[in-house]
Amino acid sequence: MPDKKPISSVNDFVVRFANVNGSGSASANEMFARAILRHGVPVSPRNIFPSNIQGLPTWYEVRVTEAGHLGARGGVDMMVAMNPQTWDKDVAGIEPGGYLFYDSTKPMPSTKFRDDITVIGVPLTAITNSTYTDPRQRQLFKNIIYLGALSALLDMDPKLIEQLIGEQYKGKEKLLSSNVHALHLGRDWALQNLKCPLGLRIKKSDKVGDRIFIEGNSAAALGAVYGGATVCAWYPITPSSSVAEAFTAHCKKYRHDAETGKAKYAIVQGEDELASIGIVIGASWNGARAFTATSGPGVSLMTEFIGLSYFAEIPAVIMNIQRAGPSTGMPTRTQQCDIIACAYASHGDTKHVLLFPEDPAEAFEFAAAAFDLAERLQTTIFLMLDLDIGMNHRLCRPLKWDDSKQYDRGKVMTAEMLDEGRDFGRYLDVDGDGIPYRTYPGTHPTKGSYFTRGTSRDRYARYSEEGSVYADNMQRLVRKFETAQDLVPRPLQANAERPTKYGVIYFGSTSPAMDEAIGLLETRGHQLDRLRIRAFPFHSSVASFLAEHDFVYVVEQNRDAQLRQLIVNENGIDPVRLVPIVHYDGTPITARFIAKAIGDHQDHLKVTPLRKAVS
């Protein structure tokens, strides 16, 4: 018996799998997460993986959360330690009273364990080797065998796992039955040799509802399909590659002509990010909806073209799946670190529209909306995802689409309009919103053509280096950006139960951790109004929120509090009133972190918690 009382918890704990990458563990681990969902219990899984293909440590963490907290929690209640390389650190990371599950085929010295945890040894290698001879089979089925053992230990319904195996190997009977066999090998061994179940248990519930389980990158790619993207140009870079790969898969399913089988899309893997954005700009200039997906280093390479898109006013959609920078940084770790780089990308005076989805459902919506915005505003739209949303399965509301929706192709002057005698000035603001009309190449034999250029030109696209002409154009671009404020998704505000002088601003993947942190802060007696920013340029409600509160915490996942900088810069407010709460070690931000940082600051301000004040 351990020194400390074993943790006892139903539907609320964290299991972490420590594996070697390339060992085939990923699909078994994902099946574990899905199986819990099938019990009606929400989970939030996260892959923690190296920038490597085979041999290095990788972890898969499953937060089981009946309460539906989908942010990372921090701490590990049960470690499934399958990697000798990281054993010591893995064992050290278990919460006191937690559980260690390991392969007990080879005896381990007692010094390798801890006294305050429950150790569960299953001779996985021995079971595997006595059943299978093929080395690859041994490796793959070992994963399913530990899944079987865990199902017994955590009191899971094996039928639900069998159902998942059945769905995965539909039509492949041999694989199906051998996987089910392996599952029961592990489960039966555990039932016969161990005390099942443990203090950690899965109990059937009904908290999942109609929610879906999807990676943000796949959802964003589907948003591009629904949003009418026909050209995709990309260059492989973690963690964005799966956007283009998912777009390819979705297009194969949805975008082939029923009669001819021909593709209603074109995907080009560029030679680099320069070519990718060049292709996007060329296609958009010519009236197609086009996008690229990349990450920080790719955005750095694209900045010259982004300036062209801004100045020559060409639509473009860039999905930036952020990772930890600068330089190569930590390619497989998450951050929200490209806010400034994207908001002001390129030389000269430039500003760009940024969209901040909080989860895959919003990634889908915003991706589709990005194409309307790009064509309406004739400029670059950044969809700012990050690795945490992009590459992890996340439980979210089902994706929705309104069939009556038509694409907003923006201000496009047609041959008919030109023939009617409409005055066409490519950079002429006809109605005060700062957005000019454009024509597609090849529109009319004698009217509406113009020479697109990154150099200064007048309202009729004629080359000019006149200062007044240049300034006139730059002012119009400012007006256009003001127009954008009312077109982009608005911030969402949620007020505390009682009026408070304190507020918090957050965005993107911080959402679930923030929602959970609010609860933790309330138990400490701190009341905070919340504002989730969903886009840049900031809507006027951001300024109102700042005005209504004495102090506003800005929670973000980068070192330099980039969103805070942007708010200070764009709203001209006293920086002292904006308190940075930054998390930037590459792991996803947690509710515990936020609650502690804000709570400590509130205590420092000598705020008397409301609870105490009223009691």
Partner 1 sequence: MTYIAKPKFHHPGLKKNELGYTHRDYEGKISTLCAGCGHDSITASIIEACYELSIEPHRVAKISGIGCSSKTPDYFLGNSHGFNTVHGRMPSVLTGANLANRDLIYLGVSGDGDSASIGFGQFAHSIRRGVNMTYIVENNGVYGLTKGQFSATADRGSKSKKGVTNTDNAIDLVAIALQLGATFVARSFSGDKTQLVPLIAAAIGHKGASFIDVISPCIAFNNHAGSTKSFDYVREHNDAVNRLDVLVGRDPIAVDYAPGTVQMVEQHDGSRIALRKIDADYDPHDRLGAQTFLARHAAKGQIVTGLLYVDPDAEDLHAHLDTVETPLNTLEADTLCPGSAALDKFNASLR
Contacting partner 1 within 220-279 (CB under 8 A): 222, 225-226, 228, 230-231, 233, 254-255, 257, 260-268, 270-272, 274-279
Looking at the Cβ atoms of 76 and 237, the one nearer to partner 1 is: 237
Alpha-carbon distance of 433 to 478, in angstroms, equals 10
CA distances from 563 to 173, 557, 585 (A): 52, 10, 17
Closer CB to partner 1, 46 or 564, in the complex: 46
From residue 396 to residue 435, what is the string marking binding to partner 1 with x (rule CB under 8 A)?
--xxxxxx-xxx----------------------------
Nearer to partner 1, 374 or 579 (CB): 374
Residue 376 CB, nearest distance to partner 1 (Å)? 15
Of 432 and 445, which has the nearer Cβ to partner 1? 445
Using alpha carbons only, give the angle 31, 37, 41 rounded to the nearest 5 degrees.
Answer: 140
Residue located via tokens 């009691």: 615
Whether the bond between 331 and the residue before it is cis, its omega within 30 degrees of 0, is: no
Minimum gap (Å) between residue 504 Cβ and partner 1: 31
Q: Which is nearer to partner 1, 268 or 610 (CB)?
A: 268
Separation in Å, CA 64 to CA 12, 45, 412, 422? 5, 8, 51, 62
Q: Cα separation of 63 and 71, whole Å?
A: 9
Nearer to partner 1, 323 or 426 (CB): 426
Helices (H), 203-348: 216-226, 241-254, 273-285, 296-312, 339-343
Q: How far is the CB of 443 from partner 1 (least distance, A)?
A: 7
Q: What sign results for the dihedral spanned by CA atoms 384, 389, 395, 398?
A: positive
- Choice between 89 and 405, CB closer to partner 1: 405
| Other beta carbons within 10 Å of 295 | 28
Q: Cα 387 to chain center, whole Å?
A: 5
Q: For residue 523, give every residue at least 6 positions away whose Cβ sits within 8 Å of its Cβ, in sequence order, or none.
A: none
DSSP sequence for 559-585? TT-HHHHHHHHHHT--GGGEEEEE--S
* Contact flags string 361-400 toward partner 1, x per CB under 8 A: -------------------------------------xxx
Q: Which of residues 271-330 bind partner 1 (CB under 8 A)?
A: 271-272, 274-288, 290, 304-305, 308
Q: How many CB atoms lie within 10 A of CB 15?
A: 26
Q: Closest approach of Cβ 525 to partner 1, in Å? A: 39
> Is the CB of 103 or the CB of 358 nearer to partner 1?
358
Window 90 to 119, contacts with partner 1 (CB under 8 A)? none
Smallest distance from partner 1 to CB 223, Å: 11
The answer for residues whose C-beta is within 8 angstroms of residue 13's C-beta and 6 or more apart is 7, 63, 64, 77, 78, 200
Question: Residues 210, 431, 497, 574: which binds partner 1 (CB under 8 A)?
Answer: 210
At its nearest, how many Å lie between partner 1 and the CB of residue 378? 14
Q: Candidates 20, 120, 144, 214: give the one binding partner 1 (CB under 8 A).
A: 214
Answer for which of 466, 486, 550, 603 binds partner 1 (CB under 8 A) is 466
SS (H, E, C) 230-271: CEEEECCCCCCHHHHHHHHHHHHHHCECCCCCCECCEEEECC
In 3D, which of 36, 57, 35 has the Cα closest to residue 47?
57
Q: Under 8 Å CB-to-CB from 436, ≥6 apart: which residues?
A: 313, 378, 411, 425, 426, 427, 428, 429, 430, 459, 476
Contact set for partner 1, span 163-192 (CB under 8 A): none
| The pair of three-digit structure tokens given for residue 267, joined into one six-digit string | 């995907």
Amino acid letter, residue 64: V
State which residue, 14 or 363, has the beta carbon closest to partner 1: 363
Amino acid at 20: V
Backbone angle region of 494, left / alpha / beta, with phi > 0 → left and psi within -120 to 50 → alpha: beta
Peptide bond into 491 cis (omega under 30): no
CB of 379 to partner 1, least distance (A): 16
Closest approach, Cβ 453 to partner 1, in A, equals 4
For residues 563 and 231, what is the distance between their CA atoms, to the nearest angstrom? 31
> Which CA distances in Å does 316 have to 68, 247, 372?
36, 17, 10
Query: How many chain residues bind partner 1 (CB under 8 A)?
Result: 78
Nearer to partner 1, 170 or 611 (CB): 170
- Please, what is the minimum distance in Å from the beta carbon of residue 344 to partner 1? 18
In the bound complex, what is the minimum distance in angstroms from residue 35's beta carbon to partner 1? Answer: 13
Nearer to partner 1, 201 or 444 (CB): 444
The least CB distance from residue 12 to partner 1, in Å, is: 22
In angstroms, what is the minimal distance from the CB of 269 to partner 1?
A: 10
Nearer to partner 1 by Cβ, of 138 and 255: the residue is: 255
551 binding partner 1? (CB under 8 A): no
Identify which of residues 137 and 449 has a Cβ nearer to partner 1 in the complex. Answer: 449
Least separation in angstroms between residue 38's CB and partner 1 is 9
Q: Contact region for partner 1 (CB under 8 A) — 98-106, 158-166, 211-219, 329-337?
A: 211-219
Q: Strand 353-355 vs strand 535-536: parallel, antiparallel, or unpaired?
A: antiparallel
Among 462, 544, 608, 611, binds partner 1 (CB under 8 A): 462
Nearer to partner 1, 5 or 264 (CB): 264
The minimum distance between CB 287 and partner 1, in angstroms, equals 4
In this chain, which of 87, 169, 213, 344 binds partner 1, going by CB under 8 A?
Answer: 213
**169 three-state secondary structure:** coil
244 or 277, CB closer to partner 1?
Answer: 277
Q: Which residues on adjacent β-strands are paired with residue 373?
A: none
Of 101-109, 146-154, 203-211, 505-513, which part binds partner 1 (CB under 8 A)? 203-211
- Binding to partner 1 (CB under 8 A): which residues in 440-459? 440-446, 449-455, 458
**Cα–Cα distance between 550 and 270 in angstroms, integer?**
49
DSSP secondary-structure letter at 112? G
Q: Which of residues 15-74 bind partner 1 (CB under 8 A)?
A: 37
